[in-house]
Structure 1
Amino acid sequence: MNTRASNEKFGSKKGATGNVWNNVWNTSGITVLDSSQVTHVADIYIDSSNTLYITDETPSTVVWRLLQNATSATVIAGIQNSSGLSNTQLNYPQGVYVDTVETMYVSEHYNHRIQKYINGSTVGTTIAGITGSRGSSLNQLNYPRYITLDPTQAYIYIADGDNNRIMRYSTNSTSGDNGTLVAGGNGVGNTNTSLNYPWGIWYQPSVSSDLFITNHNGHSIMRWTPSASSGTFIAGVPGTAGSDSTHLNNPSTIKLDNYLNMFVVDHSNHRIQMFCANNETGITIAGTGIGGSTATTLNGPRGIAFDSDMNMYITDFDTQQRLFSFIYHHHNGGYRYWYIVPSYEREKSLKILHQKSSSTCFQHNQLFINPFILDKYYIRYHRIIQHSNEFIVLSSGPISQSFTEDACWTESIPFALPSWIEDGHSNHQN
């Protein structure tokens, strides 16, 4: 299921040879949900009845459920287009997991909490973190990403992104309860004792007693025994992004089969990589390595799941291929600087915007920031100078996000530019 700001499905043909599955996926995906219903999908979970659960982080801020063979999904958690702190709202939902009794768990990036939904209830209960309060104490989370449960369903494991650690909480915990540190927690880094913005996590003790963790900003995969002081790098080159078969570029999440074959969502390489057990060379099984919106391409994939027939479903986050821009209007009425941020810096820039803005402004799609904050937080961008006799072509359906700080005014609009323009270059009207 390739989520083209939605979800997509890649069918498989399979057979068994010894203890390794011979899976051959079609190279063309089938769009299951598209941008007419979902917006920016993040994670996906498939239960034993092949029901799909999909987090739609913004602006929908909900969880969708799609029954097997259905063509339309329904909202089962959150209020569509209304983010907030209440127990019926979500704010940037990320990971989703559904246990065997259909209790659903959802991580909230901007509310810094994990919500539990029992028996189909639309009212969540906080079992980890403190609503709206980020921190590094054992009872707090800091922009959590994806989650998983152990087979007993007694514990939930959380990729605590900005704390660079993996936390474990009882599934019966309540808000403010302490969790247990099980991996990382030694600051950000690319050593075997630290994590670098963990995003995805997989844990299945019947197959392996180790956690498998994606280091999103470290471009690597780690294998880590819970509560051990260090882990082992098993894929990617720590701290080095790349696009060949031994490198990764901002991996988002990971799944393993019963034979320890790994399926890695290689987010910024726009592909899915399979690593056979104990092999550090990946095989591309979906996507071409170039972002796109065709049946054979992906664009910023985020989540992955498999149904009972081993068909692969992918949430394809950035299929709309928008470039995020920050426009700086000078006070002297002269030229303008246009600051363009690439899609792979979107998460970082939005996080900074969120920290600099009030929740009320966010509800009205308005943000407040000085564009020079981009430099402060090492967010990559390109700059275009627009003089009074020049114009810039914008794509259709612009997103209007405006900010002010220190008496500066900016707007955010998606560009219709196929590639980067060099710093200082301008577009002249002919």
Structure 2
Amino acid sequence: VYDEAGQVVREWGKRGSGDGEFNQPGGIVLLRDGTMYVTDQCNHRVQKFTVEGKFLGKWGEHGSEPGQFGGPEPAGSRFAGPHFLAMDSRGRLYTTEGVFGRVQQLTQEGKPLAAWGDKGDQPGGFGGLQTGYSKKTFGPVGVLVDKHDRVWVSSLNDRVQAFTPEGKFLFGIGGSGSEPGQFARPHGVAVDSKGHLYVADAGNQRIQKFEVPGP
């Protein structure tokens, strides 16, 4: 945890699988009351803390069923997930699972509500060719929810796609390349107060900003 000057205020956690320990921590969601949720990728779970770092709970395990994470990948795979994390206006959480090609919607207690995604390259799918690789790859990575409760998901097939909270595909942007509007392994996504979309275009070493359609 850092202050506005960039100074470390506190830290917690160490490598492991116990309560409050991590193996590849990823996404974070912070509630207004100070409650924090953190994805623990290789432990295939989400952990809950106070803003001071006190452990409050955990949920999730390795598997393919709703509420589980990682799918058929080996339990130690760091690409299985859960990866990034987001929350909508109703307090529902969204996680991404890379090589399993899935987005899940869950309650704050870890109860599965919805899931979608596959390894196809059709609209709404998270598979296809990735910049710099000859074999097909797949995986949703970054996730955010905008003020209209649209769920934005970046994926390694060089696209960013928007969905309803239940997983209905709305539209997408991107494509492989280095021209404006194209991506090479997009990761983190964010929106500002005016609704502009920002994408961390990892393979092209840049951030891109977009105007996106209204609801």
Q: What's the TM-score, normalizing by structure 2?
A: 0.82
* Equivalent position amino acid for 1:190 in 2: D
- What does the per-residue CA deviation read over 1:349-408, in whole Å, with 9 as the maximum and x for residues that have no partner? xxxxxxxxxxxxxxxxxxxxxxxxxxxxxxxxxxxxxxxxxxxxxxxxxxxxxxxxxxxx
Q: Distance in 2 between matches of 1:211 and 1:114?
A: 19
Any idea what SS the aligned residue of 2:203 has? helix
- What does the per-residue CA deviation read over 1:262-283, in whole Å, with 9 as the maximum and x for residues that have no partner? 10000111110011234xxxxx
1:224 aligns with 2:160: no
Gaps of 5+ in 1: 1-64, 279-430
Conservation of the 8 A alpha-carbon contact between 1:146 and 1:158: yes
Q: Distance in 2 between matches of 1:71 and 1:120?
A: 16
- Tell me which residue corresponds to 2:129: none
1:263 aligns with 2:206: no
Q: Percent identity?
A: 21
Any idea what SS the aligned residue of 2:47 has? strand
- What does the per-residue CA deviation read over 1:102-124, in whole Å, with 9 as the maximum and x for residues that have no partner? 11110011101110113524325
1:272 aligns with 2:207: yes
1:212 aligns with 2:147: no
Q: Distance in 1 between matches of 2:112 and 2:98?
A: 15
Distance 1:78 1:124, change over 3 A: farther
Q: Report matched runs for 1:6-21 at 5 Å.
A: none
Q: Distance in 1 between matches of 2:84 and 2:167?
A: 21
Q: Distance in 2 between matches of 1:166 and 1:224?
A: 10
Q: Distance in 2 between matches of 1:269 and 1:159?
A: 22
- Tell me which residue corresponds to 2:75: none
Query: Displaced runs of 4+ in structure 1, greater than 4 A?
Result: none
Instruction: From 140, 161, 169, give the equivalent of 2:98.
Output: 161
Any idea what SS the aligned residue of 1:110 has? helix
Q: Distance in 1 between matches of 2:41 and 2:6?
A: 29
- What does the per-residue CA deviation read over 1:145-186, in whole Å, with 9 as the maximum and x for residues that have no partner? 110112343x2111122221111111133xxxx4123431xx
- What does the per-residue CA deviation read over 1:171-229, in whole Å, with 9 as the maximum and x for residues that have no partner? 133xxxx4123431xx212211322411111113xx323111101x2101101112244
1:125 aligns with 2:57: yes
How many angstroms does 1:98 deviate by? 0.9
- Which 10-residue stretch deviates more, 192-201 or 116-125? 116-125
- Tell me which residue corresponds to 1:106: 38
Q: What's the TM-score, normalizing by structure 1?
A: 0.42
Q: Distance in 2 between matches of 1:259 and 1:200?
A: 20
- What does the per-residue CA deviation read over 1:295-351, in whole Å, with 9 as the maximum and x for residues that have no partner? xxxxxxxxxxxxxxxxxxxxxxxxxxxxxxxxxxxxxxxxxxxxxxxxxxxxxxxxx
Task: Count the aligned residue pairs.
Answer: 193
1:181 aligns with 2:114: yes
Distance 1:221 1:193, change over 3 A: closer
- Tell me which residue corresponds to 1:148: 86
1:135 aligns with 2:63: yes
| Higher radius of gyration, 1 or 2 | 1
Any idea what SS the aligned residue of 1:85 has? coil
